[in-house]
Amino acid sequence: LSDLTGLPEETRAREAGCLAREEARRRFDLERGPLLRTLLLRLRPEEHLALCTLHHAVCDGWSLGVLLREIGAGYAAAREGRAAHLPELTIQYADYAAWQRGWLEGPGCSGQVEYWRVKLAGAHPLELPADRARAAGAGERGASHTFRVSASIAERARELGARHGATAMMTLLSAFKVLLARYAGDTDVVVGTPVAGRNRPELEGLIGLFVNTLALRTELDGEPTFAEVLARVRDTVADAQAHQDLPFERVVEELRAGSDPRRNPLFDVTFTYATASREEVRLPGLTLTPAPTGTGTAKFDLELHLVEAGGGLDGELAYRADLYDGATVERMAGHFARLLEAAVAAPETPIAELPLLDPEERARVVEEWNRTAVEYPSHRPVHALFEEQAARTPGATAVIFGAESLTYRELDERADRLADVLRGLGVGPEVRVGLCLERGPETVVAALGVLKAGGAYVPIDPAYPPERIAYLLEDSAPRVLVTQEAVLGVLPEHSAAVVLTPLPRPLPHKGGGEHYEAPVSDALPQDWGSKGAAFASLSELGGGMLSPDNTAYVIYTSGSTGKPKGVEISHRAFANFLLATGDAFGFGADDVMPVFASYAFDIWGFEALTPLLAGGTARILPREAVLDVPRLVEELRGATAVHAVPALMRQIAAAAVASPGGPLPGIRRVFVGGDTIPPELLAEVRAAFPAAELRAMYGPTETTVITSAQVVGAAEVVRGHLLGRPLPNARMYVLDRSGAPVPV
């Protein structure tokens, strides 16, 4: 007995709750016992809290009801001064244990082993989205959210089950499985559920562990309606109950499941349904009111408990707090209730069409989170924006490659000269120009030159295998190919006119114009050189010839899932991307951005051109430096930003810390993308780049390189997968397989 009556009223209940949780968490000594503990807390002279803590080895949920009835009978008898008369037991728990041991060695057990082995072959726990990544050891912190299902919806669920030969439990479980399938994007759904294990009348009055756990596996493939799912779940439950005698531990052993120490074997989600909750017990001079005390721990990731109460359902969604936030679970419970309501109202609806989101949440994910409009001059082509920057800072350094550098004026002039030549060869809107160049300033010159001519550049890395180069030339069919003499040897036969770069400075022409003395392919017209001066810079033509929707470049995918595909990116999209990244990431005139990527990758535009539109410098790194991490670190000294995939960034960070020159405090921005972010990366980046902000970037080629970004802090690292928020003028929708917005 612990007397709390001396405590102030406002702290008494809190202290009682703390004592109850401590008692519930206190470990049992399985060798010496006891496995049942009691503690009485006096709250007021006429109010007590009786705590009864039992180990699962000697008690299950059913047993608590038996125990409470017997305590009540004993109390009433003692109050009346007589001996308690309890029902006569025909068997003891030891008899049941002996029977079970014998059954486990008999033919009945073999049949059930085979059933579960076939039924659960290849089963796996669901990969549900969570707020935090799963740690090496599954955390035990738990919490729960309670909710209510109205009497009208609960009644419809009962009626629907009855029409399909199913119980209310089967209907509710069907709705829960559909919810899990929608959340996980998986049609193979395994959920654990307890069964009382008292399928003989003589077991009903015993206190002990009879409960067993069934792994209920249902396939939801084939785009079924909810009614069809209910039929599948009905059969799943009926078959499982017919094979419920095999202990779950034996099932796990037979399947050799549970190799991941972070997960429960077979399932991480459970479902419990009860027809009635424990109610008050009225005794002479005493009323017993159930007061469940949570332990603050969780055995599973998610546990849905539904209890019939007042015609409706009392729901509790318990969860592992190391994975989920309370707000997430609260939304999940709301999605379950909404899905259930829709399913019982229209059971012939395909499950992919059952609503999860309420109008407010749908508006938030579809509209509010996509309010990204920013007024950029993206109707102006990239080369025109570059020309404006070159006019503002003509003497500033635009490109560095080893000992070579180009000012903005020099870069603009060289791109103009190439554009004049290309226009003389018929290059204009929707005319493709191949670029096959070694790393260096000519990649930037050529890209800008093609854009100035109004064409669309198609980058082809000369380091590619010959068959890929041949395929890209054949598939893109460029009218002109800009290349270098050193690269000619790797080119296959093709029909494009060839321009060799770098072009020399223009020389006076006896006709008063300009011409270029440059090595050209025999495929070029003999008079090509005199045509350049006849064309003005395309950006000066008032945009009449070039639409923002014309193609700026064509980038080819890797072809890992088949043949490489050429993705066409418009001038509008390209300009918006470069302006948005420069604006969102704060690039300015003092920035120096190393260019790691081959210009044949779409991310090259971010590394090389984003800083140029902001007045900064693109520092193109030699191929040898990109392949040599210690040398790469030294190349980064003097840079202000760096981008790499996470694996390479980790190598760079480690090499920087270990280098003689030490960390790189001049780096202010670190960008990673193209892969998931390992939890260790943030600390490694902070050690190597102490002044830097780490950003994760995401985007497919088809939506112009980068669609979203996220500053990475400790909270984001814990979450694992990062897509971030959309960039200016970009929209992002997270959809399920049917194209519907998924829940938050």
CA distance 686 to 688: 6
pLDDT at 509: 36
Phi, psi of 723 (to 5 degrees): -110, -30
CA angle 39, 44, 47 (to 5 degrees): 65
CA angle 160, 165, 170 (to 5 degrees): 65
CA distance 49 to 56: 22
CA distance 49 to 43: 7
Radius of gyration of the chain (CA): 36
Distance of CA 163 to the CA centre of its chain: 39
Query: What ranges do the domains of the chain cover?
Result: 374-573
Contacts of 337 (CB under 8 A, 6+ apart): 147, 149, 153, 315
Handedness of CA 194, 197, 201, 204 (dihedral sign): negative
Contacts of 111 (CB under 8 A, 6+ apart): none
Please provide the size of the chain in residues.
744
* Cβ–Cβ < 8 Å for 651, 680: no
CA distance 112 to 215: 13
Return contacts of 361-365, CB within 8 angstroms, 24+ apart: 361/331, 361/743, 361/744, 362/741, 364/744, 365/733, 365/734, 365/741, 365/744
CA distances in angstroms from 384 to 188, 415, 542, 581, listed in the order given: 54, 12, 11, 18
Architecture of domain 374-573: 3-Layer(aba) Sandwich (3.40)
CA distance 600 to 435: 9
Give the three-class secondary structure for 589. coil
**Residues of the chain whose pLDDT is less than 50?**
507-544
* Cβ–Cβ < 8 Å for 325, 54: no
Distance of CA 181 to the CA centre of its chain: 16
* Cβ–Cβ < 8 Å for 455, 446: no
Q: Specify the pTM.
A: 0.78
Q: Which of 114, 120, 310 is nearest to 215 (CA)?
A: 120
pLDDT at 257: 85
CA angle 481, 484, 486 (to 5 degrees): 135
Distance of CA 255 to the CA centre of its chain: 30
CA distance 627 to 15: 63
Phi, psi of 2 (to 5 degrees): -125, 120
CA distance 73 to 281: 11
pLDDT at 504: 66
Structure tokens at 304: 């849905």
Handedness of CA 76, 82, 84, 88 (dihedral sign): negative
Which one-letter DSSP state was computed for residue 692? Answer: P
pLDDT at 278: 67
In angstroms, the first-to-last Cα distance of the chain is: 47
pLDDT at 720: 60
pLDDT at 289: 82
* Cβ–Cβ < 8 Å for 330, 713: no
CA distance 586 to 606: 13
**What is the H or E stretch that residue 12 is in?**
helix 9-25
CA distance 273 to 170: 9
* Cβ–Cβ < 8 Å for 211, 60: yes
585, 586, 591, 594 alpha-carbon torsion, rounded to 10°: 10
**Which string of b and e fits 130-142 if b means at least 16 CB within 10 Å?**
bbbebeeebeeeb
* Cβ–Cβ < 8 Å for 37, 68: no
Contacts of 339 (CB under 8 A, 6+ apart): 175, 178, 179, 182, 354, 355, 356
Q: Which of 470, 445, 481 is nearest to 612 (CA)?
A: 445
Q: Which of 182, 132, 340 is nearest to 734 (CA)?
A: 182
Phi, psi of 362 (to 5 degrees): -60, -45
Q: Residue 586 carries which side chain, given as an amino acid letter?
A: G
Structure tokens at 155: 């009644």
Q: Which of 643, 666, 664, 645 is nearest to 655 (CA)?
A: 664
